[in-house]
Structure 1
């Protein structure tokens, strides 16, 4: 049952005498601290919390992109495809006389951390941002030519605003124009029909100008198939390595210099409209999904050519050369290749039912937050009457707000079969689509950048024993509550805005992305959600405010810690 602050004021005398306390207060200290103040906690604030499906979300030009297939037992299955423009490493290139491709490869590093080095010299890595079982979570990967032109600006707005693309654009925009020629056509099925995210270190071996493996002295190895005889020229951290079809890039790139399509990247991006990475399940429920930075890709054409023959030199020597291509979107450089993360969902019936049953008037028993085209939660703090009473009591009794926090307990029964839970959740000002004051005030940092703003919080608290399931998330909003409950020097209060709750891939990303269609959250139109929520494929189920009696100890709670000076 919700309590008003009038009741707290009426019990003040009991606190002063330390005789008893109402359940709305918990003594943080059994007596007077330093004989000049009392510390009290108010943890029965009126909350209304509920979940809303985001609908289709904007997914173009994301800093990171998902690729793969991931099945979550509670939420359902996600398929993440990716389409990107490709850029010439150097415009108007000259490939020499009679250039012929030796090989084309693409390498996209995974997020990984070095764990150890074996006696053999092999480096052992642990992969990060991989969801599902990386080693056995196989799926089918197809790379084909993209035929749909990805625009920079929106013609519907007279080219005044950037073009927006959404997670469901694959069927209507991309698929009708995609190529049919498989470009990752290697005989190694780990690059196509049975692709998986390997944590093995990658090696590039020493070769001669003809592409044959050589020993440390440059002599050609008699057994080209014996890996143990090869000399490692370069080591690469684990990543997606794809050998691409020579004949396609011979015709598309090397043979196109006289056409003028390689004169600059504006011409080139219309001529070659990029690559589409498509994923398919091999069998239902099998697969894995990775978060990748395609702007870090190494994309190279290895070819041989010579200078123009002359009378004096009719047979010039052919030399091995390389030409780089770029892809992916990187906002911190001049690289501006447009891209779209194309996300498909097959939601579970229990997840859909939970969203439909969410009550924005009374609040819900459970909150469902999920990344991508998923769902966010909203919290309305305080009733108008409660807010007025709180402000009045704080002003007249000179109470100081020491701390305030929201505690979200995880419904472990819903997440029982999940190997992956969100490491962090995030709260923000959903009314104005901006960060709250506590985020801005917190400059703390962690060894892992994903753990920055430790005081602000939101990092999952786990069980100590395996499988170390998540227990709860705690987020501080002390500065935000101060601004709502205590007037500033002009006698004004900050508005009691709507709090948004989402998963986050990185606490350092605070920009937002558009919803294709705005949603209504108890009378407030929501047109944007945090970008970092779209980047994270995971979800979790939290206890809400309107729980059954047996779940009272796990319900969503706002705790406000006060200090009352003893001036009497």
Structure 2
């Protein structure tokens, strides 16, 4: 019967989400499902306790997204995020014939930004708005610069633990010193005449335009030509906005083009030889923070080489020219990656999350992604739960939800998480309500599973914001608790970058008292934070609400 109840709940909830107003209290569901005058539809608040938990050093290798840059929030403090990645050859054993006078035109690092297409002008120019880029500037399209340095890494990253080849290796958020003290050679993005390439780097929402190349014959001797290639102003293709940085040509010629061919024979050898790149952001009080999918990035070496053109007359072959074709070789940003987070926490924030009130609950809940903080949620008193269980065969559960309100007196940043996420923290797994929610938002996947919820809702009065809230539905979870099919476990509340990232990563060491061992990867990849009213004595009427709507015989 439980499955059929949940199916009805999903259908009606979906109908409500799609066609009803923002008031999502299912006050009519009982009548719709039962339709019996001998039943009462009840909406009761139940006891909930919520308290803070600091997230210590956490695993950050091979994340689906990585942070790069600086964020400085007056509530939480400052985070400087660096990044390291292995490189792989797009094709192994490349044929770099050293007799062909190879000349590198440019070496370009390219990592696309998340973006939304705004419009296309009559000229063909496409206007974009960047997504998942955060800055201290008041204008979302004017980003504060950062001093970005890119080095060849001298620190070996491994897929497996060298001491136990059957275990995947793990790297953690506090390992920046392993990379910063093991760089090889000078800074690679060394075009210092253009500060936007290094000391004053900032994201740009401009599209990437690739211009056509015009090739012409240039006479370089009697009856001999050499092809000359020049960029024109004619557009060949357009691409989405991306981080595009020129790297040192001589370095890549020496260490890639002129490398010992044995070092390029396969990617295992190459990763041991070159090791990868280390992206270092110099500490500052302000800047921009970017969430990037580096797996979609690459480094392209553009070069020319000799290609002799011959002519045969009277059984005599003569060289008449040199085509000097344009070629490219790509290094992918794949393999092991690690995000390196350097936090300077605000003392008041640190005090709040390091000293939670686990007895009565905290007045405010501080949620922050990365190596940040989360909240524990405990449902019911023993008496409440016993009363519900005693009526378990009579109760038809229609909806159970948790309601959280943003403390806007503390949380004044213009950037706040689009979504928060609730999970079974005792067993490190998703809730049944998450699993059963198959709703999908194809155009904006971050809003999928919208019945499960946790999406930021803003209430306004005459265009003035009056309240911001998050609601999470846990109907099936509570239903199974009442039926005795699910333990009343502690729940964990975190910010989330993408509701589809349901995996977990490990903490370097379990936390004291709460024994927290893992955290959802969706929280680790989100640099943002928020402050919610909790359940302490001073939380007031905006405290966390736990409401259950059900029908039972009168």
Q: TM-score, normalised by structure 1?
A: 0.84
- Residues 1:445 and 2:433 are matched in the alignment: no
Alignment check: 8 A CA contact 1:146 1:178 kept: yes
Query: 1:467 and 1:99, CA in 2 relative to 1: closer, same or farther beyond 3 A?
Result: farther
Alignment check: 8 A CA contact 1:544 1:556 kept: yes
What SS class does the counterpart of residue 247 from structure 1 fall into? Answer: helix
Q: Distance in 2 between matches of 1:142 and 1:182?
A: 6
Q: Distance in 1 between matches of 2:145 and 2:151?
A: 19
Aligned to 1:9: none
- Residues 1:425 and 2:420 are matched in the alignment: yes
Query: 1:438 and 1:322, CA in 2 relative to 1: closer, same or farther beyond 3 A?
Result: same
Q: Distance in 2 between matches of 1:211 and 1:373?
A: 58
Question: Deviation at 1:152?
Answer: 1.0
Q: Distance in 2 between matches of 1:534 and 1:469?
A: 30
Question: Deviation at 1:357?
Answer: 3.1
Alignment check: 8 A CA contact 1:545 1:556 kept: yes
Aligned to 1:178: 183
- Residues 1:500 and 2:501 are matched in the alignment: no
Aligned to 2:53: 52
Question: Deviation at 1:267?
Answer: 1.0
- Residues 1:407 and 2:407 are matched in the alignment: no
Q: Distance in 2 between matches of 1:83 and 1:64?
A: 13
Q: Distance in 2 between matches of 1:41 and 1:108?
A: 50
Question: Deviation at 1:298?
Answer: 3.7
- 1:484-532 CA distances to partner (integer Å, 9 max, x unpaired)? 0124xxxxx3111111100000000100000011014xx5522101000
Query: 1:366 and 1:313, CA in 2 relative to 1: closer, same or farther beyond 3 A?
Result: farther
What SS class does the counterpart of residue 130 from structure 2 fall into? Answer: strand
> Is there any run of 5+ residues in structure 2 with no aligned partner, and where?
1-25, 219-226, 311-315
Aligned to 2:294: 294
Describe how 1:301-380 pairs up with structure 2 within 5 A.
301-306=301-306, 316-328=322-334, 337-380=335-378
Alignment check: 8 A CA contact 2:426 2:491 kept: yes
Describe how 1:93-104 pairs up with structure 2 within 5 A.
93-96=94-97, 97-104=100-107
Question: Deviation at 1:537?
Answer: 0.5
Describe how 1:132-211 pairs up with structure 2 within 5 A.
132=135, 133=137, 135-156=142-163, 158-171=164-177, 173-186=178-191, 187-209=193-215
Aligned to 1:273: 275
What SS class does the counterpart of residue 481 from structure 1 fall into? Answer: helix
Aligned to 2:13: none
Question: Deviation at 1:419?
Answer: 1.1
Question: Deviation at 1:81?
Answer: 0.8
Aligned to 2:88: 87
Q: Distance in 2 between matches of 1:244 and 1:154?
A: 32
Question: Deviation at 1:399?
Answer: 1.9
Aligned to 1:535: 525
- Residues 1:230 and 2:237 are matched in the alignment: no
Query: 1:175 and 1:197, CA in 2 relative to 1: closer, same or farther beyond 3 A?
Result: same
Question: Deviation at 1:468?
Answer: 5.0
Query: 1:386 and 1:93, CA in 2 relative to 1: closer, same or farther beyond 3 A?
Result: same
The 10-residue stretch of structure 1 (178-187 or 61-70) with the greater mean CA deviation from structure 2: 178-187
- 1:206-237 CA distances to partner (integer Å, 9 max, x unpaired)? 2235899xxxxx9988xx8xxxx711122111
Question: Deviation at 1:34?
Answer: 4.7
Alignment check: 8 A CA contact 2:217 2:228 kept: no
Question: Deviation at 1:179?
Answer: 2.5
Describe how 1:469-488 pairs up with structure 2 within 5 A.
471-487=468-484
Q: Distance in 2 between matches of 1:469 and 1:257?
A: 66
Aligned to 1:511: 503
Q: Distance in 1 between matches of 2:542 and 2:124?
A: 50
Root-mean-square deviation (CA, aligned residues, Å) is 2.7
Question: Deviation at 1:463?
Answer: 3.5
Q: Distance in 2 between matches of 1:467 and 1:194?
A: 37
Alignment check: 8 A CA contact 1:139 1:280 kept: yes
Query: 1:468 and 1:233, CA in 2 relative to 1: closer, same or farther beyond 3 A?
Result: farther
Query: 1:29 and 1:433, CA in 2 relative to 1: closer, same or farther beyond 3 A?
Result: closer
Describe how 1:16-95 pairs up with structure 2 within 5 A.
34-43=36-45, 45-95=46-96
What SS class does the counterpart of residue 213 from structure 2 fall into? Answer: coil
What SS class does the counterpart of residue 389 from structure 1 fall into? Answer: helix
Q: Distance in 2 between matches of 1:28 and 1:327?
A: 53
Aligned to 1:562: 550
| Equivalenced residues, count | 504
> Is there any run of 5+ residues in structure 1 with no aligned partner, and where?
1-25, 213-217, 329-336, 488-492
Question: Deviation at 1:383?
Answer: 2.7
Query: 1:466 and 1:118, CA in 2 relative to 1: closer, same or farther beyond 3 A?
Result: farther
Describe how 1:96-115 pairs up with structure 2 within 5 A.
96=97, 97-115=100-118
Alignment check: 8 A CA contact 2:30 2:550 kept: no
Aligned to 1:456: 452
Describe how 1:114-133 pairs up with structure 2 within 5 A.
114-132=117-135, 133=137
The 10-residue stretch of structure 1 (103-112 or 117-126) with the greater mean CA deviation from structure 2: 117-126
Higher strand share: 2
Question: Deviation at 1:141?
Answer: 0.7
Question: Deviation at 1:355?
Answer: 0.9
Question: Deviation at 1:354?
Answer: 1.4
Q: Distance in 2 between matches of 1:94 and 1:340?
A: 31
Question: Deviation at 1:202?
Answer: 1.6
Alignment check: 8 A CA contact 1:412 1:469 kept: no
Alignment check: 8 A CA contact 2:144 2:202 kept: yes
Question: Deviation at 1:349?
Answer: 1.5
Q: Distance in 2 between matches of 1:170 and 1:210?
A: 49
The 10-residue stretch of structure 1 (535-544 or 131-140) with the greater mean CA deviation from structure 2: 131-140
Aligned to 2:534: 544
